[in-house]
Amino acid sequence: MTGVDERIDRVRFTADGLVPAVVQQYDSREVLMMAWMNRESLRLTLTTGRAVYWSRSRGELWRKGDTSGHTQRVVSARVDCDADTVLLEVDQEGAACHTGTRTCFDTGEHPERDLAPVAGGA
């Protein structure tokens, strides 16, 4: 077993064999997107340095940027305290969202995504 496999063995995947990955710009800490990873996409991400995800809708692996040119070079990867969520810190080239916006949470261009303030919040 390789060092990469040992690290992946620490990850708690769902019953479907997936783990959510929160993707963040490494220097600004801007949250770019959330995607799903399976064991193989995580292995490819850790061994190639390019973000690879699992597309639930297409049922296949996809390496970010292969069709759009908007690549993600992985700077660091770690799991949360329960080992059931991956945090990828990346250097994003171009838009992260499939809609063409910088992030999937860019509500400035999509005000319909804004939710009401949390009770007691500002």
**CATH (domain of 58):** 3.10.20.810
Domain that holds residue 76: 3-106
Q: Would residue 57 count as lying in a domain?
A: yes
What's the count of helices (H) and strands (E) in the chain, helices before strands?
2, 6
Q: What is the pLDDT of residues 74-117, one digit of tens each?
A: 999 999 999 999 999 999 999 999 888 999 987 666 666 666 66
How many domains, the chain? 1
Mean pLDDT over all residues of the chain?
Answer: 91
- In terms of phi and psi (left: phi > 0; alpha: psi -120 to 50; beta: otherwise), the region of 107 is alpha
Q: Would residue 31 count as lying in a domain?
A: yes
C-alpha distance across the termini of the chain, in Å: 51
Residue 6 has pLDDT above 80, yes or no: yes
Q: Would residue 120 count as lying in a domain?
A: no
Q: Would residue 10 count as lying in a domain?
A: yes
Q: Would residue 20 count as lying in a domain?
A: yes
Which residue reads 């303030």 in tokens? 117
pTM of the model: 0.86
Residue 26 has pLDDT above 60, yes or no: yes
Integer CA distances (angstroms), 68 to 63, 65, 94, in order: 10, 5, 9
Binned at pLDDT 50, 70 and 90, residue 122 comes out as low
